[in-house]
Amino acid sequence: MLRKYTHSIAVEKYAIMSVIYPLIKTGLIKFSTIMSRGIKQFFVICTYFVITILLGVMIYYSFIKAPETCFDGKQNQNEQAMDCGGVCQLACKEIVTGEEIQFQETAFIRSGENRYDILGKIHNPNSEVGATSFTYTASLLDSAEKVLATHSGTGYILPLETKYILDFNLDISVAPTTVSIHLSDVQWVRFSGYQEKPAVSIYQKRYDQISSGTGFSEVFGLLSNESSYDFRSLIVQIILRDSTGKPLALNSTEMNTVRSHENRDFRLVWPSAFPGAVENVEMVVDADVYHSENFIRQYLPGGKFQDITPARGY
């Protein structure tokens, strides 16, 4: 059947050409006329095709595709980021990053029977960027680097600040050989016009061994908030060192709601004896500036007191 149909088309084609060819040869029909008609038909088909495509695009964008807005969860129009900047009234929040916080010292200290304290000294090398929050994980390891005990906490740090992470009373039955402290989830913010940390000092420092009564030794001091800021929390950290600078014992206390120009005295006690001779008593104050409302208003433009993530003391 197919062979008959193909043969029929070939016969019809031969018949048409047998009629047209003599006409072309005699000049009654010009070959250019036939070609021009083919070109015209081609352009007509192309025109209809383009019109059809344009109509489809118009229908898609007019009736099917959702309109671009500043609330569609996409970065479009001329937005600088998703749904902010450009034609959108909402300003884009700056993504702030900084150089990694550096460790200057790590150590562990035996603080009692099967109990150990951990010290980490960190430094923020950024001059305009601080961290409102970070997570630290402190681990005690054996000689095979197996984790014997671990503890996590949160902290904060100012631009160019050097401070301590102190962790107390990790309970393990095997003596550790090394300590590891890892920082993660650092939340950076950019400061404006910041020069130095608020002036909070400690005066009348004194360290004594207890000759009578309960305890082995004690320290005294007078904390003075010499800044113009009120603080929700101030943490006093004590590091006792020997003549080589090796830490012998640690201690810490927290003072809540310390007003500008307020003074407070404190006393800290070590209940049990520890080895080594104390030659240097280091007392530092960790000021929770990220929860001082007037500090935030001055140095964190656009920042809001209630927006800062709550931080916990070490």
Domain assignment present for residue 79? The answer is no
Q: Which domain holds residue 172?
A: 102-190
- How far from chain centre, in Å, is Cα 289? 19
180 and 221 co-located in one domain: no
Residue 143 lies in a domain: yes
Region class of 17: left (phi > 0), else alpha (psi between -120 and 50), else beta: alpha
In this structure, are 181 and 236 located in the same domain?
no
User: Cα(69)–Cα(87) distance, rounded to whole angstroms?
Assistant: 9
My answer on whether 183 and 265 are in the same domain is no
Asked if the structure places residue 260 within a domain, the reply is yes
pLDDT for the residue numbered 34 = 53
Identify the residue whose tokens are 């193909």.
6
Of 49, 64, 79, the residue that ends a domain is: 64
Is residue 235 within 8 A of residue 286, CB to CB? The reply is: yes
Q: Which of 131, 160, 190 is the last residue of a domain?
A: 190
- The 10s digit of each residue's pLDDT in 296-309 is 777 776 554 334 44
Residue 157, domain member (yes or no): yes
213 & 300 share domain: yes
Q: Beta partners for 221?
A: 266
Same domain for 38 and 56, yes or no, is: yes
Query: Under a CB-based contact definition with an 8 Å cutoff, are residues 89 and 122 in contact?
Result: no
Amino acid in the structure at residue 24? I
19 within some domain = yes
Domain check: are 124 and 59 in the same one? no
Distances (CA, A) of 59 to 63, 65, 135, 153, 275: 6, 9, 53, 57, 84
Does 302 lie in the same domain as 206? yes
CATH of the domain at 263: 2.60.40
Spatial contact of 230 and 294, defined as CB atoms under 8 Å apart = yes
Report yes or no on 80 lying in a domain: no
| 97 in a structural domain | no
Question: Is residue 85 situated within a structural domain?
Answer: no
184 and 217 housed in the same domain: no
pTM of the model: 0.69
How many structural domains are present in the chain?
3
Per run of 10 residues, the mean pLDDT along the chain (length 314 residues) is 46 49 51 62 80 82 73 80 82 84 97 95 95 95 94 94 96 94 94 83 96 92 94 94 97 94 96 95 91 74 46 40
**Do 210 and 290 belong together in one domain?**
yes
Letter for the amino acid at 12?
A: E
The verdict on 214 and 291 lying in the same domain is yes
**Residues 109 and 174 grouped into a single domain:** yes
Mark which of 165, 190, 215 sits at the end of a domain. 190
206 and 300 in a single domain? The answer is: yes
